[in-house]
Structure 1
Amino acid sequence: MKLDRKKFLLGTAGVLFGSTAIYKFFQNRKGEDQMQKLPVFFVGHGSPMNALGPNPLADSWAESTKDFPEPKAILSISAHWFTKGTYVTAMDPPPTIHDFYGFPQELFDIQYPAPGDPKLAEELSKLKETNVIQDHSWGLDHGTWSVLRNMYPKGNIPVIQLSLDATKPGEWHYEFAKSLSKLREQGVLILGSGDMVHNLRVYDWRNQDKAHDWAIEANEIFKDLIQKRDWKSLSNYQNLGAAVQLAIPTPEHYFPMLYALALAEKDEEIRFYNDIIQSSVSLTSMKIG
C-alpha cells in the first residue's frame, strides 16, 4: 500500500464537535434504541508480538470483553496514526497494516478481516465545526489489530480508526475526545491504544523484565492522578517532572489514554489491569465503566 507521506506523520512503532450536529448524528445511527452503555478501554499494547497469543497480555484482552454486549462498531484511537490534522478511515474493509519491521514472518502474515463503517466515518466528517477528513489510504495499524484480534478474534465487528493530530497539545485532545461520549450509548466501543510510558530510545532489549526507576515513578504518577481524577494535570503532562519527561519523549503513545479518560463519567469505576513495565515501556491498561 502506498502511503501519502506528506499527509501522515508516523510515530515509532480540530476543533470541537458542534453539539446540535452531534445530537442529530447519534439519533440517526441505526439501532436507535437505548443500549447498555459500553465501557471505554485504554490498552498498553507494547510490542506487536503481544498479538500472538496465548500469552498473559493477550489472554487479559480476550477476558476483558466478556461482561458486556458485543458492540455494533469499534472506534480505535491508535498511537501509530499520528498526523497533521484529524483523519478517519472511511473504506470498507480497512486493510491490515504491518507498520513495523524486524519481526517474525508469522506477525506479517496476520490479517484482521474486520469490515469498516463508512457511514459512521462520513457522519463524523460532516459534523459542524470539525475538520475530520475521510481517509482511504490508511487502515488498521498494529496498535488496533494486535489488540482487537484477541478482544474480538472473529473480526466480524466494523472498525474505524481515528488519527491523532500531531499539531495539537494534550489539553486539546482531551477536550476533543469528550465529544465522542454519546457513541458509548449507541453500541460503539471506544479503544485508546498506546502506552503510558513509552521511550524506546533507552529500552534494554537484553533485560526487558527490569523496569527503569524513572519508568516506575512515571507510571505511578499517572495512576495516582487517574485515581484522583486530575484530568487537567494529566492533559498538561509536561509539568509533571523529570520522570514523566523521560516517559513521554514524544506524545503519540500517551495521547490515546487522554481519549479514554475524557470519556470517564463522574462515578464510573476505573480499573487497572496488565500493570506491567517492560524496561521503558508500560503495559498498564484501564477499563472504564
Structure 2
Amino acid sequence: MSARMPVVFVSHGAPDALLKAPEAVACWRDIGQTIPRPTAILAISAHWEARQATTSLSGAPKTLHDFSGFEPALHAMQYPAPGAPALAERVVSLLTAAGSAADLHPSRGLDHGVWVPLLSMVPQADVPVTQLSLVRNAGPATHFALGQALTPLREEGVLIVASGSITHNFDWLDWQATGDPTPVPQAKDFADWVAARVTAQDVTALLDYRSSPHGSASHPTEEHVLPFFVALGAADGDRPTRYQPPFSYGGLAMDAYVWRDPADAN
C-alpha cells in the first residue's frame, strides 16, 4: 500500500452521466478499484460554495438531487454513505492552522457532484464521507492553498476526491448529441493544454489558466474548475495519471486525474 492515499479529480459531467456516459462510469469504477480502501472520503464539489471553507458535520448526509429537467430515475438514486463528522472537524483544524477561515455546517448533504461519481467509485456506500465547500468569490490560488493545507489527511487514510469539470461552457454543449460526439475543438484543445501543464507540473501556468488559449472560454464562471486546484494542491508534487473518457454532449471534457504517491507500487 502507498505511504499515503492518492488524490482524485473527476469531471462529473451532467447529472445524467450515470445514465448516458458509460465510459466515464467505467473510468470512475476503475479508479475506485485500483486505489487503496480509504478510512474516509473528503469530497469537494463544484456545487457547494460558501463564504468560507465549510465542512459538513452530518452523520448521515442526505443525497441531494440538486438539478431539474433530467430523467426521473436520477431522482430515485440514493447514496446512503455514513457521514464523517470527525473528519469535518479535522479539516477545519488543518485549514485554520494554515491561516484559512473555516466553518462547520450541521447538516449539509452530498450534492450530485459528489454522489454521481462515488456511486461508481465506492458503490457499496460504506466509506464515511464529508463534503468541503468551495470559497465563494475566491480563485485558483486560494483553492490550491486549501489543497496544500489538506495534504496531511493523505497520511491518515483519507481519500480526497475533487469533482468539477475540465471544461464547462454551456454554449459548447449539444444536448441532442448521442453516443460519442466529436468534441468541440476549443474544449479538446484546452483539456490537452491542462494535461500538458499537469504532466510538466507547471503550477504557475495552471493557476493562470485564464491567460491560456480557450481558458476563459472553457470556464465562463470558475466554480467547476476550482475543485481541480484543491486536488492539485493536495497532490503535493506527486505525478498524475490522466484518464480520458469521451466528451459528454460534445463540450464537457470528462477527464479525470489520479495523483499517487511514488511509493505506491501499483
Same fold (TM over 0.5): yes
Q: Which amino acid aligns with 2:130?
A: I
Q: Residue in 1 aligned with 2:31?
A: 64
Q: Residue in 2 aligned with 1:244?
A: 215
2:194 pairs, out of 203, 207, 222, with 222
SS in 1 for 2:232: helix
Q: Which amino acid aligns with 2:220?
A: P
- Scaled by the length of structure 1, what TM-score is found? 0.82
Q: Residue in 1 aligned with 2:264?
A: none
Q: Which amino acid aligns with 1:151?
A: M
Q: Which amino acid aligns with 2:22?
A: N
Q: How does 1:6-25 map to 2 (within 5 A)?
A: none
Q: Residue in 1 aligned with 2:124?
A: 154
Q: Residue in 2 aligned with 1:78?
A: 45
SS in 1 for 2:16: helix
1:286 correspondence with 2:257:
yes
SS in 2 for 1:157: coil
8 Å contact kept, 1:58–1:147: yes
In structure 2, what is the Cα distance between the partners aligned to 1:219 and 1:124? Answer: 30
In structure 2, what is the Cα distance between the partners aligned to 1:95 and 1:157? Answer: 15
SS in 2 for 1:48: coil
SS in 1 for 2:241: strand
In structure 2, what is the Cα distance between the partners aligned to 1:184 and 1:195? Answer: 23
Report deviation, 1:54: 8.9
Q: Which amino acid aligns with 1:218?
A: F
In structure 2, what is the Cα distance between the partners aligned to 1:68 and 1:213? Answer: 32
Q: Which amino acid aligns with 2:53?
A: T
Gaps of 5+ in 1: 1-33
Report deviation, 1:137: 4.2
1:196 pairs, out of 166, 171, 181, with 166
In structure 1, what is the Cα distance between the partners aligned to 2:192 and 2:21? Answer: 28
- Structure 1 residue ranges, 4+ long, deviating more than 3 angstroms after superposition: 126-130
Q: What does the per-residue CA deviation read over 1:126-151, in whole Å, with 9 as the maximum and x for residues that have no partner?
A: 44333211112421000000011111
8 Å contact kept, 1:113–1:155: yes
Report deviation, 1:82: 2.0
Q: What does the per-residue CA deviation read over 1:66-107, in whole Å, with 9 as the maximum and x for residues that have no partner?
A: 233310000011011122221111111111100100111111
8 Å contact kept, 1:35–1:186: no
8 Å contact kept, 1:215–1:277: no
Percent identity, aligned pairs only? 32
Report deviation, 1:281: 1.1
Q: Residue in 1 aligned with 2:64?
A: 97
In structure 1, what is the Cα distance between the partners aligned to 2:216 and 2:241? Answer: 25
1:45 pairs, out of 2, 12, 16, with 12
SS in 1 for 2:55: strand
8 Å contact kept, 1:87–1:134: yes
* Structure number, greater radius of gyration: 1
Q: Residue in 2 aligned with 1:3?
A: none
8 Å contact kept, 1:53–1:59: no
In structure 1, what is the Cα distance between the partners aligned to 2:69 and 2:241? Answer: 34
* Higher relative contact order (Cα pairs below 8 Å, separated by 6+ residues): 2
SS in 1 for 2:189: helix
Change (3 A) 1:130 1:106: same
